Structure 1
Amino acid sequence: MKHPLPAQPRHIGVLRLSALGDVCNLVPTVRALQRQWPEARITWIIGKGEYSLLAGLSGVEFVVYDKTSGIAGMRALWRELAGIRFDVLLHMQQALRASALSLGLKADVRVGYDKARAKDAQHWFTHRQLTPHPRSHVLESFLDFARLLGVKDLSLTWDMPVPETAFDEAHALTGGAPYLLMSPCANPRLRNFRNWSAEGYAAVIQHAWHRHGLLTLLTGGGSTQEREMGERIQSLCEPGSVIDAIGGTSLKGLLAMIARARAVIAPDSGPVHMANALGTPTVGLYATTNPDRAAPYCWREFVVNRYPDAVDTYLHKSLDEIAWGQRVRHPDAMSLIHAEDVIERLETLLDYTAATQSERELPDDET
């Protein structure tokens, strides 16, 4: 017998700890829940870094969990939430650690992914599973939780909180000059071959500088790999065309910088989804991950997509022969992207945004 879903939930729990891009893609689902049930209380259990990105999100209570804290951290969180029982817990993190964490949370019904999408046997930890949705984008998979609960209005809204102090941080770096924002590196994890070449980035930077007079603002974390990439890119570019802010900004500051950028260029990583959430034009660079599943959702047509080529070249298969979302874990896969590919997508994007801006500025009787 299926556990019944609440018709009018009073308290909704959301369990999604990471990552930066994924929590950005989840926000429209939270907004949809808020529209359907404006009086409902929403508590989101989230990772520390992800909380620093989303802090201040209206109508949401955050409970921060340190993913490195082990069993002691789990027990501390269980104690913190011991007096709370959710009408429904949306278990939206496909990881054994998150499923173990969910065991100490009280909920009338626990909702998770369908068996085809569930990883690490997540469906064993939930009462109800999503309706199957093959070949879905990550953002659509999150919206499936709202669909299952009966939410009707699934229009995309973010309203990401960016404080004025963050915009001050951005202005201090750029001085108000127009710029591209480029985040050259994805999270430096083992076998995470998502980074493009310094030479490729430099060629795009020089094009934007000479063709459009646009500075490029480099951003990223403070790891050795990211800092060395920034230094290499800057060494290949003309003086004055690049501002290297890698390792020098807060996450809220990065949001502000993205919000004010003319466009964002980055591989499959948090910044392309942050840009998508803010409505900033975005060129995503994809070869090791499938953009149909993980591209910046509102800018999918502007992605540089070499994933099919990478699947053919390094897995020796076609897209129909591999699992949905399978990664191409080969260090040379991103080399299938050429500077000309990125420049062409950037030019198309800039033309498109200039045209749509002109349309918005025309009086109604002239459109």
Structure 2
Amino acid sequence: MIVYTPALRRLKEKYPKCILTFMTKYGNHEVLEGLSYIDKVIYIRRGRLLGRYRVLFDFFQQDIVVFTDWQPQLLMISKLLKIPVLAGVPRDGHRLNRYLSKHLQTSIFKVKQYAGRTDADLLEEALDIELDGEMTRLDITVPNQKVCDEVDCLLDSIGVKDDYIVLSPFTGLEERNWPIDIAESFVQKVIDIYSMPVVVIGPADKRNKADVISKYNLLGRTNTMQMVELIRRAKCLITPDSGPMHVAGALGTKCIALFSKDLPSRWAPKEQCVPVYLGMPCSPCNDETARKCHDVACMRNISDEMIIEKLKCLL
């Protein structure tokens, strides 16, 4: 989502009269709501009654809808609303492909270039326009004073007063997570070398596991903008290829990004980011292949010593 911001910014610069509406899932919307070139951010609250259909009023007003991922329900609704142009990458063999008025060929996973450029290529194809210029400067909404005060309280509650490092070891795919035993060893080395606390962030369902990693545990205690502010203040973020990595890229926070199943050339921020990638013979792979992998050596072989050496260079 954040990686789309360079293309959207350039789109608004070239076509200032266009009205840009960006749709995402609930929780993510806040990181874009303060950006001047996006006119409106709408969101889906999955799990809520008719959550996908609460955005219908906004769809009535669109001339073009670009589907950047597969959304069959919203595709059908858009067709029923007679939106003139429905552009998206078709799903192989899916009967709803016929509802797309424009089948896009651009795909992040077909090329090795940075995703920001590929996102721009996708919009170019969808809209029959040209988006020139660099596509590496990411944008994000800066947390307001209320959020800053909330983060002060959170840090105070775990005894963090000064400089700290953020560790976000968990992702949406178990096989992309940094193993807990390695993360625990890394935290101890940071304490020994820098006497600096390592604040662990992530989803609430991993909270008990994170207690082993570090006593500075904020898993499940932050909302999206609080997480952004924690990363903004950090001396460095250590994370697998994930959303927090892109947040750091937009904020200019130093980041060590652990890559396993995908390529740093596609996803690693171009500023202040040091990717760690073992380049296994089976990499890159897709989620389905990763779930079937027996040893996930691409991630489990990234040692704490490797990250400490990168950290020494950054700090």
Shared topology, TM-score over 0.5? yes
User: Percent identical across equivalent pairs?
Assistant: 21
The 5 A counterparts of 1:314-353 are 317=282, 328-329=290-291, 330=293, 332-333=295-296, 334-350=299-315
Q: Which residue of 1 aligns with 2:61?
A: 84
Offset, 1:328: 2.8
Residue number in structure 1 paired with 2:209: 229
Aligned match of 1:63 = 42
Against the structure 1 CA distance between its residues 253 and 91, is the aligned structure 2 distance closer, same or farther, given a 3 Å change threshold?
Answer: same
Secondary structure of the 1:140 match is helix
What secondary structure is seen at the aligned counterpart in 2 of 1:30? helix
Deviations 1:322-355 (A, max 9, x none): 76888533263122211111112222233xxxxx
Distance (whole Å) between structure 2 residues aligned to residue 324 and residue 185 of structure 1: 18
Q: Equivalent residue for 1:216?
A: 198
Q: Judging changes above 3 Å, is the alpha-carbon distance between structure 1 residues 254 and 228 closer, same or farther for their aligned structure 2 residues?
A: same
Partner of 2:26: 48
- What is the count of residue pairs matched by the alignment? 299
Q: Which amino acid aligns with 2:295?
A: D
Contact 2:248–2:254, Cα closer than 8 Å, also in 1: yes
- Partner amino acid, structure 2, of 1:210: D
How far did 1:104 drift? 4.4
Looking at structure 2, the residues matched to 158 and 218 of structure 1 have their Cα atoms a distance apart, in angstroms, of: 24
Structure 2 residue aligned with 1:18 = none
Show the counterpart of 1:204: 186
Q: Amino acid of the residue matched to residue 253 of structure 1?
A: Q
Aligned partner letter, 2:163: P
2:199–2:218 CA contact under 8 A, matched in 1: yes
Deviation (angstroms), 1:286: 1.9
Change (3 A) 1:165 1:267: same
Distance 1:325 1:137 in 2: 19
CA contact (8 A) 2:44 2:54 kept: no
CA distance in 1, matches of 2:240, 2:275: 10
Equivalent-residue separation in structure 1 for 2:294 and 2:171 (angstroms): 13
> TM-score with structure 1 length normalisation?
0.71
The residue identity in structure 2 corresponding to 1:168 is D
For 1:253 and 1:120, the matched residues in 2 are separated by: 42
**Counterpart among 38, 42, 45 of residue 16 in structure 2:** 38
| CA distance in structure 2 between the aligned counterparts of 1:324 and 1:221, rounded to whole angstroms | 23
After TM superposition, the structure 1 = structure 2 runs for residues 111-126 of structure 1, keeping only pairs within 5 Å, are 111-113=87-89, 124=98, 125-126=100-101
Which of the residues 98, 102, 107 maps onto 1:127?
Answer: 102
Deviations 1:153-181 (A, max 9, x none): 34424142321222222233055511111
Aligned-pair distance for 1:151? 2.3
Contact 1:288–1:328 (CA under 8 A) maintained in structure 2? yes
CA contact (8 A) 2:256 2:276 kept: yes
Conservation of the 8 A alpha-carbon contact between 1:31 and 1:157: no
Contact 1:27 1:158 in 2 (8 A): yes
TM-score (norm 2): 0.81
* Residues 93 and 337 (structure 1), Cα distance of their counterparts in 2 relative to 1, 3 Å cut: same
User: Where does structure 1 lack aligned partners over 5 or more consecutive residues?
Assistant: 1-22, 235-241, 351-367
The answer as to 2:120 corresponding to 1:143 is: yes
AA in 1 matched with 2:179: S
Distance 1:206 1:166, change over 3 A: same
What whole-Å deviation, never above 9, does each CA across 1:246-267 have from its counterpart, x for those lacking one?
1111110110010111110011
3-state SS of 1:201 partner: helix
RMSD value, Cα? 3.0
